[in-house]
Chain A
Amino acid sequence: GAGVSQSPSNKVTEKGKDVELRCDPISGHTALYWYRQSLGQGLEFLIYFQGNSAPDKSGLPSDRFSAERTGGSVSTLTIQRTQQEDSAVYLCASGLAGGTDTQYFGPGTRLTVL
């Protein structure tokens, strides 16, 4: 079946602009995660949605970052007033449930802030 998809694949923006990144999880997956991967670095957790529970926002680096998940499916990560240090690959993952269940990653969105 279809895997996790993300759009756009690449996004170039100017410093100070807002951007929205989209994630379509695997159908039926209740858990959805956003991670950030800077060049040559590991994966940094940003936010986690599980079903109808309140999201775990503990990884968001600043209040310029926010995310929502509509109808328990599609998620949008929004970065307001982008800064050059926001440049990274933003990866979305989904799973059947949180914790010890496999997370399947999307292809990522490469964000470049000029």
Chain B
Amino acid sequence: GENVEQHPSTLSVQEGDSAVIKCTYSDSASNYFPWYKQELGKRPQLIIDIRSNVGEKKDQRIAVTLNKTAKHFSLHITETQPEDSAVYFCAASMRGGSQGNLIFGKGTKLSVKP
């Protein structure tokens, strides 16, 4: 089955700096890669996603890149702000059959210091 590895587990940056979180996946059939942000005590919220027919997607300060050959994808946050502090999870899933569930990475705790 699919396995998703996420690095780093913790990341501390100064406000205004960029943050990059990387994930690798094992199943080449996976074709959907969302990123979720979870603030303390709250539900995971989708912040951006990418499908396998696209190499990069950007939404304001957030971007995701996908390298299908290497089976890795990354989240890039530019001009970080204290409110970006949260745990970020990457995930992968595959269309088709009953394989609808997301396989999550173990999360990255991002701290943005003012």
Contact = CB atoms under 8 A, between A and B. Distances in A.
Contacts, number: 72
B103 A50 contact: no
A99 B93 contact: yes
Interface residues of A, number: 27
Nearest to A44: B104
B25 interface: no
Given A102-B49, A107-B43, A42 B104 contact: yes
Nearest to A45: B101
* Category for how many chain B residues contact A: 20 to 34
Contact of A53 (B51, B91, B98): B98
Given A42-B104, A59-B101, 19 more contacts: A33-B101, A35-B104, A42-B89, A42-B105, A43-B102, A48-B98, A48-B100, A48-B101, A98-B95, A99-B32, A99-B93, A99-B94, A100-B32, A100-B51, A100-B93, A100-B95, A105-B36, A106-B43, A108-B43
